[in-house]
Amino acid sequence: MPRATLITNIGELVTNDEQPGRDGGLLGIVRDAAVLIDDGLVTWVGRAADAPAQTADAGVELLDAGGRAVIPGFVDSHTHLVFGGDRAEEFAARMAGNRYEAGGIRSTVAATRAATDDELRARLAGFVAELHAQGTTTFEIKSGYGLSVADEQRLVRLAREVTEEVTFLGAHVVPFEFREDPRFDRDQAAAGDAYVDVVIGEMLAACAPYSRWVDAFCERGAFTAEQSRRVLEAGAAAGLGVRVHGNQLGEGEGVRLAVELGAASVDHCTFLSEADVAALASSDTVATLLPGVEFSTRQPYPDARRLIDAGVTVALASDCNPGSSFTSSMPFCIAVAVRDMGMTPAEALWASTAGGALAMRRGDVGAIRPGLRADLVELDAPSHLHLAYRPGVPLVRRVIVGGVARA
């Protein structure tokens, strides 16, 4: 792509930039629009008829969107994409009635430890291509399937090769070798404390240089609130931003802890008390909802309507991982969120773009506005409504990341 590109003849441009004269509320829709991209950034947005005259210069490439919709690239703020093997059998058993349990994570840990760097790297490259093809232009990746100092460092190092948004999730579950340690008599809490000592010591030191975030799975069967707090505080002291897995399998202390620690995001939020909702509403912690998880585990969906009505900022993310949600498709998440979680199509699109950017505390992505990175998706549809209206149909026609065509 040349240095400057003008995308013209956009039937519906979703900017996520609410301004007088634009419609769609938060979506800031401009009809019959054009976008000028220069040197990887958006430099002008408006009605095609008002496009700056200099764009007719020979050096500017013209792209005709044919009256279709253009939206900001999706920001997937929650994935676990560095892993070996899969758990298709576990999924099939769940569809036949088994319950989802956090313990399944350990089988992916074994497969991940057995994989070479190059095997994990090749898999990851495939996932990145899959993300781009579905319109995702910014994505976070967590570790958490290594659970030893060397393996966790390997995972954050590999993740860092493909994204800046790397999260250290050494506190995903307590690995086998700690649970089976006879000193702890297989006692979960005691084994957890011994493992947490490793996580906040040697493991954090090895992983922090590759990471931007620290996360902990604060849930029954994983880590207690006190254990999670130790991990998150140690990560913050090492300069990492805080995010939390909480309230996925039942009510618990994850949300409260996340708000108290000023986390950028608390993810899952499936089981919330009134106090949790109120705490989120009076914080700047984003509630990140992960529809793929409830779809793939047959848990009840989180109530996005309740959160939005209470004033909570909501993001949607895929949580792509081999256990609870093996989808990398943000359009799929949007369709489920609209169908089953009480979100309007506009809210779901906003949550998948601007909401994800807030969950990552990123001011340079998630919207189409002069000065922001040029991450745009042209849909094979006249309107963003089709993302939920046509579930399962590949509607992503063109993907531009930082001004460069990716799909």
- State yes or no: 172 annotated in a binding site: yes
- State yes or no: 211 annotated in a binding site: no
- ∠46-47-50 over CA atoms, to 5°? 95
163 phi, psi to nearest 5 deg? -155, 150
- State yes or no: 389 annotated in a binding site: no
Give me the sheet containing 286-289, strands edge to edge: 74-76, 136-142, 165-171, 213-218, 241-246, 265-268, 286-289, 314-316
DSSP-based three-state secondary structure for 35: strand
CB atoms near residue 264 (< 10 Å):
22
Residue with token string 């995903």? 172
- State yes or no: 386 annotated in a binding site: no
Query: 190 with 119: CB under 8 angstroms?
Result: no
Stretch that binds ligand NIG, among 33-41, 190-198, 317-325, 337-345 (CB under 6 A): 317-325
Answer yes or no whether residue 296 interacts with ligand NIG by CB under 6 A: no
Closer of 109 and 304 to ligand NIG (Cβ): 109
Residues 293-332: x where in contact with Fe ion by CB under 5 A, - otherwise, as a string: --------------------------x-------------
217 binds, among ligand NIG, Fe ion, none (CB under 5 to 8 A by kind): ligand NIG
Stretch that binds ligand NIG, among 45-53, 180-188, 315-323, 345-353 (CB under 6 A): 315-323
CA distances from 81 to 74, 319, 321, 387 (A): 17, 9, 6, 24
Q: Tokens at residue 215, please?
A: 């996360």
Closer of 24 and 292 to ligand NIG (Cβ): 292
- Quote the radius of gyration of the chain (alpha carbons, Å): 21
Among 319, 347, 375, 378, contact with ligand NIG (rule: CB under 6 A): 319
Closer of 42 and 218 to ligand NIG (Cβ): 218
DSSP-based three-state secondary structure for 174: coil
324 binds, among Fe ion, ligand NIG, none (CB under 5 to 8 A by kind): ligand NIG
Q: How many binding residues for ligand NIG (CB under 6 A)?
A: 13
Residues that bind Fe ion (CB under 5 A): 319
- Would you list which residues are annotated within the binding site? 78, 80, 87, 145, 172, 245, 248, 319, 321, 323-324
Residues that bind ligand NIG (CB under 6 A): 80, 104-105, 108, 217, 245, 248, 293, 319, 321-324
